[in-house]
Structure 1
């Protein structure tokens, strides 16, 4: 029964996650954290981190990770198939249509209209991850952030945007700073 639930949940995610993995994060969060209660919000933020560090699309990494947590290796396989199956079918069909009708203005107009929607989904996901990382609970107390995380975030944004630093070096450095801080604060 759990395999069927995993398959259907990730089939829905694969079917409804337009715009890629980051745009799918709010949907994954809603289904996995709030509806199915397979993960807590904190575990979901850890999932995002793990999915970022492993190669491959974030939605597929998330489905594999959650499937493993819920149903072992079989759960991982079922969840991953559920997540990828709609994409395989839809992309094959859309590639055929786009190749055949790419000059139509309706196609171009539809793609133009979808861009801001995808940006909004990505921004929503980013804001959710930011709030969870800085305040680390579901109720945000604006005057009590995790100052270390906030400082790491500000420095990382500065290094990425102003100095065009390597994102991998920044992620590793931030992890090392956090490890050192927690090693000495115990």
Structure 2
């Protein structure tokens, strides 16, 4: 039970102090569950992240559910989920109640501008950190380049690209296993 409460508190802190959505939370989740607490390995974290991206819903929520389940089963998944979403839920309730009164304040506006400027850097840190776990070979480099091309140049929806990459990975690695 102590581990479950510790896990809840860890995800609660991450949820409370992360702005910018799921991708901005990834380096914090990784730092807490892989580096600090050592609940899972970096390889397991990367696998969970890939699975979480392929499920509908928010990335950080999916990731916390899978990590919670791996650590503490169904109860762990629920505790991690609650820890992740409660801070946002409570913040939204407070903002909904008081936002219109404070939104036009100059200093509040400046704070939001500062936060929005930091979010892309948090996402970049997540990309750099996770890229260290990806095997460096010509197939993976080609997949990365094709993915960037398909999404950036041809404007193909990322879900379609993920499905294509998953199908390719299944077909390619299935042959290697057989």
What is the TM-score when the length of structure 1 is the normalising length? 0.88
Pick which of 173-182 and 147-156 moved more. 173-182
Deviations 1:89-119 (A, max 9, x none): 1222123332112221112111111112111
> What is the CA distance between 1:122 and its match in structure 2?
0.9
Distance in 2 (CA, whole Å) between partners of 1:184 and 1:51 is: 25
Give the Cα–Cα distance (whole angstroms) in 2 for the partners of residues 108 and 4 of structure 1: 36
Q: For 2:108 and 2:98, how far apart are their aligned partners in 1?
A: 10
1:38 aligns with 2:43: no
Query: What per-residue deviation string (whole Å, max 9, x for no partner) do you get for residues 133-159 of structure 1?
Result: 2x3xxxxxxxxx222111111011111
Q: Give the stretch that moved more between structures: 163-172 or 112-121.
A: 163-172
The aligned counterpart of 1:21 is: 22
- Quote the residue 1:113 is aligned against: 114
**1:173 shift after superposition:** 1.4
Which residue of 2 is the match for residue 150 of structure 1?
A: 141
Which whole-Å CA distance do the structure 2 matches of 1:65 and 1:74 have between them? 11
Q: Distance in 2 between matches of 1:24 and 1:72?
A: 22
Q: In angstroms, what is the RMSD of aligned CA positions?
A: 1.4
1:100 alignment partner in structure 2:
101
Distance in 2 (CA, whole Å) between partners of 1:184 and 1:79 is 37
SS of 2:132's equivalent in the other structure is: helix
The one of 146, 149, 154 equivalent to 1:163 is 154
What TM-score comes out, normalization by structure 2 length? 0.92
Matched residue SS, 1:150: helix
Residue 11 in 1 paired to residue 12 in 2? Answer: yes
1:87 corresponds to: 88
Shift of 1:67: 1.1
Shift of 1:21: 1.0
Q: Distance in 2 between matches of 1:149 and 1:74?
A: 36
Q: Are 1:179 and 2:170 an aligned pair? A: yes
State the aligned residue count.
176
Q: Which runs of 5+ in 2 are unaligned?
A: none
Q: Indicate the SS of the match to 1:132.
A: coil
Shift of 1:131: 2.8
SS in 1 for 2:162: helix
